[in-house]
Structure 1
Amino acid sequence: MNQGSRSTRSRTSNKRLSTIAIVARLGVMGVVVTLLGLAGYLLYRSLTASGDPTAVAFDLQVSAGLNPLEAASLRAYLQSNNDRLYTPASSETIQTVFEVEPGQTAAGIAADLRGAGLITDETLFINYLRYYGLDRQLEAGVYALSPSMTIPDIAVTLTDAGLQQVSVRITEGWRREQTADWIDGQATIPFSGADYMAATGAQGPAAVLLVEAGVLPPGLSAEGFLFPDTYSLDLNATAEDLAVRMAQNFLTRVTPEMRADAAAGGFGLYEAVTLASIVEREAVVPDERGLIASVYLNRLAADMLLQADPTVQYAQGLQNGSWWNLNLTQADYTAVDSPYNTYLYEGLPPGPIASPGFASIEAVIYPAESPYFFFRATCDDSGRHNFAVTFDEHLANACP
């Protein structure tokens, strides 16, 4: 009996020890997991708080598909390469079109990015995607990217194809051909200069809209009525989209009241825009627009030739395909036989020679009052002009 009791007590004791050992091991494992989790959290906070401003800005979260060891390993890798993450491929800011194909893998995208000169390290890019789960959020589409973007910038951008637009700045004083040439030099604009010329020509949608609004005579291009401004376009936009927006912008900015005031001043809107386009090309200093407009209006009222240099430059361009020859010779003033040459032909040219900005249009509709009939550039390269009432005064203003 005593021996059996001792044997039973021994087995019970061993079971208790085994249970304690299991509990202890589980406790140790729990502590280890807790410590690993805490370490991972601290590493994550360190990365997002100080080393990865993109993660903070876009509230990026560590991928739930990573196990703790994978997450810790990627965190350490990204931290050790933090400087390279935020060093762009180059300082070049010109955007280029980059397309992600449907079903394309992260590795395939990384290879294409490197081939396009947009990143320098495919592995770093892929690991950044994996860490934040962005590799499963990449969207097929067309994007505007530049080599000056960092890996985090590019990674986040490629997750939303719907936000992609290109900014198009149409400058005051440009003629249609000049804008078309500029478009051909922009990699992110999804249409050609020839497309733009067609869309803004006499048969294009911009001219049709302006004719219907009663501001453009039928059969003419939209030159002068393509309002210079900055336009945001989708990357699949057409030249027709831009042309119509420019014409609509003109109709919005140049109000019906302004059109009525132009008519009350003896001008139709088409004539006012034509003169405004000359003022736009002549004026360098904004506060001189009104005076320059007054000179031309005074000359028109006195039946004098306008003798505006920009009209000669425009006429030259129509003949030789260039524009804005700023070094006209004395012979040029009479060599170009064109109704646009206001040294040879009286009155206004047949139409606008460029796209005037709002300030130049306003300067013609609401001109300054002045006694001046002449102006010429000052001799200090300031862009300003000396104004004169008589031709003798004008000659006296010549530079030595």
Structure 2
Amino acid sequence: MLRRILKLLVFLVAVLAMLAVAIIPAVAIVSIISSPSSGKVQVKLGSPVELYYGLYLWLHQDELQKPLLPAGTPVPFTVYPGESPYSIAERLEEAGIISSAKLFYAYIRYNNLGHTLEAGDYALSPGMTIPDIVNVLQHGRPREITITVPEGWRMEQLADYLEKQGIMSAKEFLAWAKVDLWVERYNFLKDVPEGATLEGYLFPDTYRLPFPASPQDLITRMLGNFEAKVTPEMRARASELGFTLHQVVTLASIVEKEAVLPEERPLIAGVFLNRLRKNMYLQADPTVQYAKGYNKATGRWWSPITIEEATSIQSPYNTYLNLGLPPGPICSPGLESIKAVLYPAQTDYLFFFSADGSSHIFSKTYEEHLEKQKQYGK
């Protein structure tokens, strides 16, 4: 009932506003507004026209502060020179970026922001609120997108994400993620076997890209970031340990998938290095998960494995069946996992298992390992 009364009031104010424009433009009355800086409701003195738009915004303040979708793929949008605010509002609604052209226009008109909107190309998302969109359009920023690549993603995961976000084709990205296309430009790739992919070298981080972006745009940034973060000193350290950089990145990728707690990375790296020295199988579950690939049943790339799978999946990446390191990395390791391999904890540990899904229990002998598993009900 209250909302109906308020809507009627808005209608009456609209009539009053039209009369005021023609007869009493100087009348000042109390008005409700939406602040352009915060989008929150405030109160001020203003004209009947301001009261109309203020009441309209107040009635729709929830919609004003709520994006059309919880999240959305960036959409290219152009504001043309001399374009009116209402034309912009209509095209935003048509593009599926906002829910209401009228609400967008009311926000612009009431806060007197029409003259502040700059012509240009933008990347807008239905996951943005109207105040967010107005803020972007005021600053004339070029179209760009931000991509965050987490540690531990395999290359296909990234490609799938890029395609689902409407950023680029997964197939096209994977076609460009070949070592042979980049080795002449980036010397650190010289140890990677010919014909291999860039698995492990697409450095996990947050990247800003032009929109639309090409695979070359992203891969150039990721390889450049790897080159900057994995310093010459770190590469020299790999040589001191008797490893190639490719071997370090490969082991670091396994550590990345095994470790949950940051402080355990050097311990886990130490275990694997000890096993390599003793010519033991690494028996790292993530390598089998990598070989297993995407699980349609679970919709996951990294599904838990059974002991039967560990001993039956035929792949050079299966470290239950193959001695030494797998042929290459299984994911993109973060800097801390790479450092853990270069500077491992010096222990006699040869075994570990997950105690609670995060922390691990370490042992020096197989008998000790079995006994601790019993203690933890494993």
Per-residue deviation at 1:298?
0.4
1:182 aligns with 2:161: yes
Q: Which residue of 2 aligns with 1:285?
A: 261
* Of 54, 67, 72, the match for 2:37: 54
* Of 105, 115, 121, the match for 1:141: 121
Deviates more, 1:196-205 or 1:104-113: 104-113
Per-residue deviation at 1:393?
1.2
Distance 1:241 1:338, change over 3 A: same
Map 1:1-400 → 2, pairs under 5 A:
51-54=34-37, 72-83=47-58, 84=60, 86-90=64-68, 92-100=70-78, 102=80, 106-130=85-109, 132=112, 134=114, 137-150=117-130, 152-187=131-166, 189=167, 191-205=168-182, 207-211=183-187, 214=190, 216-317=192-293, 324-378=301-355, 381-398=356-373, 399-400=376-377
Residue 233 of structure 1: SS of its match in structure 2?
strand
Contact 2:152 2:334 in 1 (8 A): yes
CA distance in 1, matches of 2:236, 2:265: 21
CA distance in 1, matches of 2:300, 2:35: 49
CA distance in 1, matches of 2:291, 2:341: 22
Residue 281 of structure 2: SS of its match in structure 1?
coil
Distance 1:160 1:193, change over 3 A: farther
Q: What is the root-mean-square deviation in Å for CA atoms of aligned residues?
A: 3.1
CA distance in 2, matches of 1:56, 1:287: 43
Per-residue deviation at 1:323?
6.2
Gaps of 5+ in 1: 1-34, 58-70
Distance 1:375 1:148, change over 3 A: same
Residue-by-residue CA offset, 1:214-252 (whole Å, 9 max, x unaligned): 454443221111110011112132111111111111111
CA distance in 2, matches of 1:176, 1:344: 24
Contact 2:294 2:302 in 1 (8 A): no
Per-residue deviation at 1:268?
1.1
Q: Which protein is richer in helix relative to its size?
A: 1
Distance 1:141 1:74, change over 3 A: farther
Residue identity opposite 1:111 in structure 2: E
Per-residue deviation at 1:174?
0.7
Distance 1:116 1:36, change over 3 A: closer
CA distance in 1, matches of 2:50, 2:270: 69
TM superposition score normalised by structure 1: 0.75
Contact 2:39 2:65 in 1 (8 A): no
Residue identity opposite 1:170 in structure 2: V
Distance 1:333 1:110, change over 3 A: same
Higher-Rg member (1/2): 1
Residue 318 of structure 2: SS of its match in structure 1?
coil
Contact 1:134 1:156 in 2 (8 A): no
TM superposition score normalised by structure 2: 0.79
Per-residue deviation at 1:287?
0.8
CA distance in 2, matches of 1:147, 1:227: 27
Residue 237 of structure 1: SS of its match in structure 2?
coil
After TM superposition, the runs of 4+ consecutive aligned structure 1 residues lying more than 6 A away are 318-323
